[in-house]
A and B are shown apart, each in its own frame.
Chain A
Amino acid sequence: MGSEVLLEIKDLAVEFTAHQRKIPAVRGIDLTILPGQFHALVGESGAGKTVTSLSILRLLPPNVSNLRGSIKFNDHDLLQLSEEVMRNLRGREISMIFQEPAKYLNPSLKAGVQVMEAIRYHMGYSEKAARERVCELFEKVGLSDPELAMDRYPHEFSGGMKQRVMIAMAISCNPSLLIADEPTTSLDVGVQRQIIHLLLDLQRSSNMAILYITHDLGIVRYAADVISIMYAGKIIESAPKDVLFSSPLHPYTRLLLASIPSREKRGTRLQGIPGTVPNPEDLPPGCAFHPRCPLAQQKCKENVPPLVRIEAGHRCACFFPGKEFGSLL
């Protein structure tokens, strides 16, 4: 794997203003994605995962009141580029798929026409060439009978098939980064499996990097290379998959992993994490996790722990990384 970096987010912070109140959705995160890497961004609802991905594509809603930091993509700062350059980048270099494919497909246009649009715009293909390309793509994403599928309308596809159309659209211009925002959450187990395998195949065959946003640790365990865990707008732990699962350091990560029910835990109590995810409008001072943390000390209430390197590739934002819970639980 090359040492060059595909995407480098530095100190990104996004703040919204709604009803005269400031909502810091992302509060200074650093994230690096290498070419061809499957990077999973894990967090609960409201952690800032989606805002992070939308800022990469500069698709944030207009009520952003404060945007700080830099997003370097192949040495260009995406936050500084003109809207015109950005438009040429979206779909071509960086593309995105979403949780509900049905919402992002135009119901009144045939599937083939929708996929062709990006190819013709970005690559300047003729209609005939674009049609052939779509055919090829549909075959690649596993839509049987691609010729027929092209002339179908979105409602004629099942949920999994719609997601395949979305993926075909997203990879149509061979992007080097695909952002996938919970693409399998609304799908059934069997279909989930197929979509994940499809993404992994595409990642390997065309060395495409994937930023996979999810709260499902099962998918992450199966597919990811590197995992970053987000909590209340910050990355609190980041490590290669096997390192994270074998030696998680942040108390939130450790409790989260222990909270997942399984057959082996029958008859025992689930771990769980006391309290609730903090409201972004009303974050606790210091470490945002301290009100729920069994290890919290005075220090945690006053100071924000920085995300520091613990060992190669493993970063953690906690004053007491890996400290035993002991009798605290």
Chain B
Amino acid sequence: MKSILRVENLTKIFPGSGIIKRYPVKALDNISFSVEEGEIFGLVGESGSGKTTLARCILFLDPPTAGKVYYGNLCLNTVPWYQWKKLRSRMQIIFQDPNSALNPRLSVRRSLEEGLINLGYSKKQRNDTIRKLLDQVGIPYNQVDRYPHEFSGGQKQRIIIARALSMNPKFIVLDEPVSNLDVSIQAGIINLLMDLKKEFNLTYIFISHDLDLIAYLSTKIGVLKGGQLVEVGKAEEVLSHPLHPYTRFLLENPLSFHSKIQPLKTYTKETV
């Protein structure tokens, strides 16, 4: 398989400034991994472990302090600014909070149109594309002139997914795309993402703190802890033979719904 994204010795240091943070913070420490085409790379870690920073560094939304990122054979570190606009459409990102990722003053149509105008689509092409995209993510086309506040969180996330897809990306970074949604809605979004991946032959980097979810959908798993990638490998191997104690700790979480660890007590109708 061809690698679509390769990260080599990536390090990100936020310089200390101001009164509150006087010391530089090493958010990512020497991270290397690669993602092959069609894969779902699941990145799991707790808050503060550097998941979001890594997502931003990969896309050069925050340039890494050291290390290289390759997209195919292209080293992103050396891409001149005027080529970025075209490249950006190949790699999209979807954020955790759907409520803050849509401009409240733009209708759904305007939000979706913006990127297409940049790609030089005609008005008719734009309308056709938007109709097709909304249909794919399960939003009725007659709601296209509504504003974000008229939609629920799950619907907003669908619109955001449509917007990301409108750029015909090769890979999408999904930064906790369902953690702000209710359980019954989460499953629908996950199913949608899996369908779209198949249909458009997408590659995902899926970031989550929820190991159950990562275990459900990833083909490859990376475990982040304190800015370091402590374990990375094929999903089946990481799940059945975790090597790092931290991975084992996460896998043995008794609070996971499917945990094999017996609850502390049982409570049946006999005890009522």
Q: Is the CB of A272 within 8 A of B154?
A: no
Stretch with Cβ within 8 A of A (4 or more), from B2-10, B75-83, B169-177, B263-271? B263-271
Interface residues of A in 217-259 (CB under 8 A from B): 217-219, 221-226, 239-243, 255-256, 259
Instruction: Write out the residue numbers on chain B whose beta carbons fall within 8 Å of the beta carbon of A241.
Output: 263, 266-267
A260 at the binding interface (Cβ < 8 Å): yes
CA of A222 to CA of B210, assembled, Å: 17
Residues of chain B within 8 A of A189, CB atoms compared: 46, 209, 250, 253, 255
Are A193 and B255 interface neighbours, CB within 8 A?
A: yes
In the complex, B256 has a CB within 8 A of chain A: yes
A270 to B191, CA, bound (A): 7
Interface size class of A (residues with CB under 8 A): 35 or more
Q: Is the CB of B269 within 8 A of A243?
A: yes
Question: Which residues of A lie under 8 Å from residue B182 when comparing CB positions?
Answer: 44-45, 215, 277
Interface residue? B215 (CB, 8 A):
yes
* Cβ < 8 Å to A, chain B residues 22-61: 46-47
Across-interface contacts of B155 in A (CB, < 8 A) = 276
| Contact between A255 and B256, CB atoms less than 8 A apart | no
Instruction: Kindly state whether residue B74 has any CB partner on chain A within 8 Å.
Output: no
Chain B interface, number of residues (Cβ within 8 angstroms): 43
Q: Residue A21 at the B interface, CB < 8 A? A: no
- Pick the residue among B186, B216, B255 that contacts A262 (CB under 8 A): B216
Determine which residue in A200, A225, A262, A265 has the highest number of CB atoms from chain B within 10 A of its CB, and name it: A262
Considering the complex, give the chain A residue whose CB is closest to the CB of B184.
A273
Q: Is the CB of B184 within 8 A of A263?
A: no
B264 touches A188 (CB 8 A): no
Chain B residues lying within 8 Å of A255, measured Cβ to Cβ, are 184
The contact string, 1 if C-beta is below 8 Å from chain A, for chain B 105-148, is 00000000000000000000000000000000000000000000
Task: Given A188-B47, A261-B190, A270-B191, verify A313-B216 contact (CB < 8 Å).
Answer: no
- A1 CB–B CB distance under 8 Å: yes
Q: Does A99 contact B (CB under 8 A)?
A: no
* B256: chain A residues within 8 A (beta carbon): 218
Question: Are B191 and A269 in contact (CB-based, < 8 A)?
Answer: yes
What string of 1s and 0s marks CB contacts (under 8 Å) between A304-315 and chain B? 000000011110
Q: Assess whether A103 is interfacial by the CB under 8 Å rule.
A: no
Q: Is the CB of B187 within 8 A of A272?
A: yes
With contacts A260-B212, A270-B187, A276-B152 taken as known, whether A223 is within 8 angstroms of B253 at the C-beta atoms is no
CB of A17 closer than 8 Å to a CB of B? no
Give bound CA distance, A192 to B250, whole Å.
12
Q: Which residue of A lies closest to B218 (CB)?
A: A266
Given A219-B255, A265-B216, answer yes or no on A277-B272 (Cβ-Cβ < 8 Å).
no
Q: In the complex the two chains form, is A312's CB within 8 Å of B272's CB?
A: yes
**A2 CB–B CB distance under 8 Å:** no
Supposing A189-B46, A222-B259 touch, asked if A256 and B184 sit within 8 A by C-beta, the answer is yes
CB contact under 8 A between A196 and B255, given known A262-B212, A313-B272 = yes
Flag if A215 contacts B183 (CB, 8 Å): yes
Question: In the docked arrangement, what's the CA distance between A258 and B269, Å?
Answer: 23
Chain A residues closer than 8 Å to B239, beta-carbon distance: 263
- A110 → B minimal CB distance (Å): 20
Contacting residue for B271 out of A1, A218, A272, CB 8 A: A1
For A222, the chain B residues whose CB sits under 8 A away are 254-255, 259, 261, 263-264
* CB-defined A-B contacts under 8 Å, sample of 23: A193-B255, A223-B264, A225-B267, A226-B267, A239-B269, A242-B267, A243-B268, A243-B269, A256-B184, A259-B184, A260-B212, A261-B212, A261-B217, A262-B215, A270-B187, A270-B216, A271-B187, A272-B186, A272-B187, A272-B188, A273-B184, A276-B185, A277-B185
Since A217-B257, A272-B187 are in contact, a sample of 5 more A-B pairs with Cβ atoms closer than 8 Å, ordered by chain A residue number, is A193-B254, A223-B263, A242-B268, A263-B212, A273-B188
A interface, CB within 8 angstroms of B: 1, 44-45, 188-190, 192-193, 196, 200, 215-219, 221-226, 239-243, 255-256, 259-266, 269-274, 276-277, 311-314
